[in-house]
C-alpha cells in the first residue's frame, strides 16, 4: 500500500514502501522506525516484520488539515487488524464524498485479496491521528487461526475462498486490554529472537481479544448511547481516566467533565466498553503494573503509589484477584 501526503515529498515514505514490499521475505525480525519533521506535519512511525506478519504504530501531529492519498497496488493477500486510536478517519475518492472509516478508539479486522485495486484519500477529523495495525499474509493468518471461535472461523472461510471481508459489520471499541497490548509492543525492550517470539505471542493475543469482542457484540443489548455526541462523551471519559490513573475523578465529577449525566455515563460506558468505569480503570492500572513488574521497572511499593492505590496491601489484593498470584511472586 503506497501512501503520500499532499504537499509533502514522497521521499519520507520510500522506506515504508520498501519494507512493505520486501519485509515479509525475512525470517528474522526486521525493525523500522522514523521521525518525520515537516512544515506541515510532525510524525513518528515504528514497524516490525517477521514470518509473514507486519506490525506498525504511527502518531501524526498536523499543523494544518491535510489529506493522505493512498493506492493499493501490492500483489499480496493481506489480513489487517486496524486499531484507530486518536482522530476519526474518513475515506473517499476524487469523485465521491468522504465517508467515516474509523472513529476514535475503534478497531476491526478485514481481508483484501491481491486482485483488489483501489485508490483514494484519507483525512482526519482532528490535527492528530494515531493508529496501530497488524497485517498477516494469507498463509500466516490461516495458520494462526486454526480451530478458532465461530466468528473468526467464518472470517477465515472467506479468506480461504479469496472473498474480501470484515470480521465485524460495525467497528468495535478498543478496550483496556488492547491498549495495554499496544503499549507493550511499542515499548518492548526485548531484542532479536526473544523480541520476535514476544511480538508473535502478542499478535495472537490480539486475534483472541478481537474474536471475543466480535462475539460479545452479537449479543443483543439495550442501547443507552443513541447519539454521536453521547458516544464521543463516553469515549472522552475513557481518555480522561486513562490520563489520570494516579488520581481519577469520582463518577459525578467525571460526568460533569465530559458533559453528560451520571446515569448515562455509567450505562453508556458499560455498553461501549463492556465494563464499569472503575472496573475499566482498575484493569488498566493492573495491566500497567503487570508489565512494569515483568520488566523490573519499579518496586511493588513504587507501582502501588504511582497508580494511586491507598496501600501496598490493597494493590496486592487487587493484583492477586485479577492474575491469580501476588505481585511479589510475579516479580521473581
Three-state SS string over 251-280 comes to HHHHHHHHCCCHHHHHHHHHHHHCCCHHHH
Res. 86: pLDDT tops 60: yes
Q: What is the pLDDT of residue 120?
A: 64
Per-residue confidence band for 221, with pLDDT thresholds at 50, 70 and 90: low
Question: What pTM did the predictor assign?
Answer: 0.68
**pLDDT surpasses 90 at 253:** yes
Q: Please report the pLDDT score of residue 199 as a whole number.
A: 93
All residues at 6 or more sequence positions from 220 whose CB lies less than 8 Å from its CB, including other chains:
none
Q: Is the pLDDT of residue 138 over 60?
A: yes
| pLDDT at residue number 1 | 39
Q: Is the pLDDT of residue 41 over 60?
A: yes
The full set of domains in the chain, from first to last, is 2-217 (2.60.120.10), 228-331 (1.10.10.60)
Output the CA torsion sign for 206, 208, 213, 214.
Answer: positive
Query: Percent of the chain beyond pLDDT 90?
Result: 10
pLDDT tens digit sequence for 152-205: 888 888 888 888 888 888 888 888 788 888 888 988 888 888 999 999 999 999
pLDDT at 231 over 80: yes
pLDDT at residue 236 greater than cutoff 60: yes
- The pLDDT tens digits for 279-330 are 888 888 888 888 788 777 778 888 888 877 888 888 888 888 888 888 887 7
Amino acid at each position: 500500500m503506497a501512501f503520500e501526503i499532499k504537499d509533502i515529498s514522497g521521499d519520507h515514505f520510500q522506506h515504508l514502501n520498501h519494507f512493505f514490499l520486501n519485509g515479509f521475505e525475512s525470517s528474522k525480525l526486521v525493525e523500522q522506525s522514523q521521525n518525520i519533521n515537516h512544515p506541515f506535519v510532525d510524525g513518528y512511525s515504528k514497524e516490525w516484520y517477521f514470518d509473514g506478519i507486519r506490525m506498525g504504530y504511527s502518531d501524526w501531529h498536523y499543523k494544518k488539515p491535510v489529506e493522505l492519498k493512498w493506492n493499493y497496488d501490492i500483489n499480496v493477500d493481506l489480513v489487517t487488524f486496524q486499531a484507530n486510536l486518536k482522530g476519526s478517519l474518513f475515506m473517499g475518492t476524487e469523485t465521491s464524498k468522504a465517508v467515516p472509516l474509523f472513529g476514535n478508539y475503534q478497531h476491526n479486522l478485514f481481508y483484501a485479496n491481491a486482485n483488489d485495486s483501489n485508490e483514494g484519500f484519507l483525512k482526519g477529523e482532528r490535527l492528530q491521528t494515531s493508529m496501530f495495525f497488524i497485517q498477516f499474509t494469507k498463509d500466516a493468518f490461516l495458520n494462526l487461526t486454526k480451530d478458532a471461535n465461530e466468528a473468526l472461523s467464518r472470517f477465515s472461510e472467506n479468506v480461504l475462498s479469496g472473498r474480501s471481508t470484515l470480521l465485524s459489520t460495525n467497528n468495535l471499541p478498543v478496550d483496556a486490554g488492547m491498549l495495554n497490548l499496544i503499549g507493550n509492543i511499542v515499548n518492548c525492550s526485548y531484542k532479536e529472537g526473544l523480541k520476535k517470539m514476544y511480538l508473535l505471542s502478542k499478535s495472537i493475543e490480539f486475534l483472541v481479544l478481537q474474536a471475543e469482542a466480535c462475539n460479545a457484540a452479537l449479543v443483543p443489548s439495550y442501547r443507552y448511547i443513541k447519539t454521536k455526541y453521547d458516544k464521543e462523551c463516553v469515549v472522552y471519559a475513557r481518555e480522561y481516566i486513562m490520563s489520570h490513573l494516579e488520581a481519577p475523578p469520582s463518577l459525578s465529577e467525571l460526568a460533569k467533565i465530559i458533559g453528560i449525566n451520571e446515569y448515562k455515563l455509567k450505562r453508556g460506558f458499560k455498553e461501549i466498553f463492556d465494563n464499569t468505569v472503575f472496573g475499566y480503570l482498575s484493569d488498566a492500572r493492573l495491566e500497567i503494573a503487570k508489565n512494569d513488574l515483568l520488566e523490573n521497572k519499579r518496586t511493588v511499593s513504587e507501582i502501588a503509589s504511582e497508580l494511586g492505590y491507598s496501600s501496598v496491601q490493597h494493590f496486592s489484593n487487587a493484583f492477586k484477584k485479577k492474575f491469580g498470584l501476588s505481585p511479589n511472586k510475579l516479580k521473581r
